[in-house]
Copies of this chain bind each other. A is one copy, B any other.
Amino acid sequence: MGRSVANPIEVGALAKALDAELLGDAGAVIRRVSSLDTAGEGDLSFFSDSKHRAAAVRAAGCVLLVRDADRDIVSGLRLIHPAPHLAFAQALELLFPAEKVIARVSPQASVDATAHVAGAQIDAFAFVGAHAKIGAGSRIHPHATIHCDAEMGNDCEVHSGAVIHPGVRLGDRCIVHSGAVIGADGFGFQPSKAGWRKVLQVGGVLIGNDVDVGANSTIDCGAIDDTVIGNGVKIDNQVQIAHNCHIGDHTAIAGCVGIAGSARIGKRCMLGGAVMVVGHLTICDDVVVSGGSLVASSIDTPGQYTGIFPITTHREWLHIAARLRRSGK
């Protein structure tokens, strides 16, 4: 399958840009990129994992980024590079240059007269409320909502259907993907005779630079103080971060993770998919939690942690579960 590039480049120029050694015709033009599995004649692809050796051999007609040690795996056009994976990612940036942000407000947008949007692109059906500030080079896509008093730095991107509530401040170069909601009320209630009574949530959300928030993820505003997301934090889709969490710099959070209120997660942590973190606990820096685990107490030693019921045939599971249940009596 692969994908046609937006900006075709001659192989010679690409080799130069990537600082790679070229074997073959410098005048050939890269018009498509593909994974090894689907690479056709002339497609740019890369080989860096010996597991894919057979696929590399099958993809003989492609332009292959390879390590020096693998230079003879095919005989066609090759670019020799010590880190083919990284070089390929760099090539993508040349072959698919970012769309230029055009500083203009669509006549179909709704932008309050007191909002600051100079240098930003505001698309059709984007809403920007009173006193909101959007930095230069930022783009607000169709159907994104930036509520009053929300702020973001330069070169941010807020995708369609995303909602940024009042009291949210984003740094520079943040990407908020479609449908993400930042700054909705935290889940704060007090029991009373008449039932649950809502506690006003008056804190904000403070987000650093270079943060990505995935599609349909949610980050609640703080109850009193702010919810805080550090620099370089990467958040995948459908992640829920409750009020007053603190997420340390450069932590990566995979899809479907839930983090309950006031949890503090360190720097450079990695939470696998669907990890759940109980509230009011602390995870230190450099912790890796395996996907599907529930973190119910604080972790103060870096390392990998896991807690997953092993999957098996339903018949065997019935045995295991029955035995476990007996051990609780």
Contact = CB atoms under 8 A, between A and B. Distances in A.
B237 A220 contact: yes
Nearest to A224: B35
Interface stretch (A8-16, A23-31, A114-122, A193-201): A193-201
Contacts of A75: none
B310 A306 contact: no
Interface string A188-212: 0110001111111011101000101
A303 B314 CA distance: 8
**How many copies, total?**
3
A252 interface: yes
Interface residues of A, number: 115
13 contacts: A35-B224, A86-B190, A124-B127, A125-B125, A127-B160, A177-B184, A181-B215, A195-B232, A290-B317, A292-B294, A292-B296, A303-B313, A312-B325
Interface of A: 1-3, 33-35, 37-38, 85-86, 89, 92-93, 96, 108, 110, 124-125, 127, 129, 142-143, 145, 147, 159-161, 163, 165, 167, 175, 177-179, 181, 184-185, 187, 189-190, 194-200, 202-204, 206, 210, 212, 214-216, 218, 220, 223-226, 231-232, 234, 236-238, 240, 242, 249-250, 252, 254-256, 258, 260, 273-274, 276, 278, 289-297, 303-314, 316-321, 323-325, 327-329
